[in-house]
Amino acid sequence: MGESGSGKSTLAKLLVRVWERNVSLVDGDVYLDGKEVLHIPEEEFRREIRWKKIAMVPQASMNALNPVIRIGDQMIEHCCYRELTGMKR
């Protein structure tokens, strides 16, 4: 809960580790069922935590989809994230 701009979405994205690339994590831990999950390997987080134990549902489609990119292209980008970025998240 909090007023607009207070950091709700930012915190939610951090919990599922989908923050924007220009964001740097300075400090802090996230504990889930007694286990720290913010710093575990991405592959383990993807396999066991994200969308299985922690999920995020955006309030409105405009928060989830980019209005200037076709929805199909955004879905393809999501599916091909690794291939497109070479990143492991």
Ligand X SMILES: Nc1ncnc2c1ncn2[C@@H]1O[C@H](COP(=O)(O)OP(=O)(O)O)[C@@H](O)[C@H]1O
Distance of CA 89 to the CA centre of its chain: 9
Sign (positive or negative) of CA dihedral 1, 66, 50, 30:
negative
6 vs 85 by CB, closer to ligand X: 6
**Rounded Cα gap, residues 84 and 31, in angstroms:** 30
Q: Given phi > 0 = left and psi -120 to 50 = alpha, else beta, which region is 63? A: alpha
Residues in contact with Mg ion, shown as a per-residue x/- string from 5 to 44 under the rule CB under 5 A: ----x-----------------------------------
Is 8 one of the binding residues for ligand X (CB under 6 A)?
Answer: yes
Among residues 24 and 34, whose Cβ is nearest to ligand X?
24
58 binds ligand X (CB under 6 A): no
Which residues are near ligand X by CB under 6 A? 2, 4-10
Which residues are near Mg ion by CB under 5 A? 9
